[in-house]
Amino acid sequence: QQQVKQSPQSLIVQKGGISIINCAYENTAFDYFPWYQQFPGKGPALLIAIRPDVSEKKEGRFTISFNKSAKQFSLHIMDSQPGDSATYFCAATDSGGGADGLTFGKGTHLIIQP
């Protein structure tokens, strides 16, 4: 019930295209959903996050879409650039009672081809 399932495992997109990564969760107590970007040799860096009171959040070229009834959320990267090539992790946590850690998906290795 604590799992976050992420797909695809790897993704190749042409420069300028749209990259889409999907995640699904089971724990209905989850109420904070961040996306992290990780480059080789670096720690995860927060990209964008959403709470379930909204269905979409956009920051620059990055958009999270959230479907509470389906318990799914996705990251869309518009106008994908070679510099976006990285591993992306979705995560989730619940805000009730204590500093719960993030539950991460298994990651998506994104390659943007020039």
Partner 1 sequence: EPEVTQTPSHQVTQMGQEVILRCVPISNHLYFYWYRQILGQKVEFLVSFYNNEISEKSEIFDDQFSVERPDGSNFTLKIRSTKLEDSAMYFCASSVGDVGPQHFGDGTRLSIL
Site residues (CB under 8 A) for partner 1? 31-32, 34, 36, 41-46, 49, 89, 91, 93, 95, 98-107
Closest approach of partner 1 to the CB of residue 15, in Å = 27
| Token pair of 77 as six digits | 């990267």
Q: Nearest approach, Cβ of 33 to partner 1 (angstroms)? A: 11
Please answer whether residues 70 and 22 qualify as being in contact, where contact means their C-beta atoms are separated by less than 8 angstroms. Answer: no
Q: How far is the CB of 10 from partner 1 (least distance, A)?
A: 12
Distance of alpha carbon 51 from alpha carbon 112, whole angstroms: 28
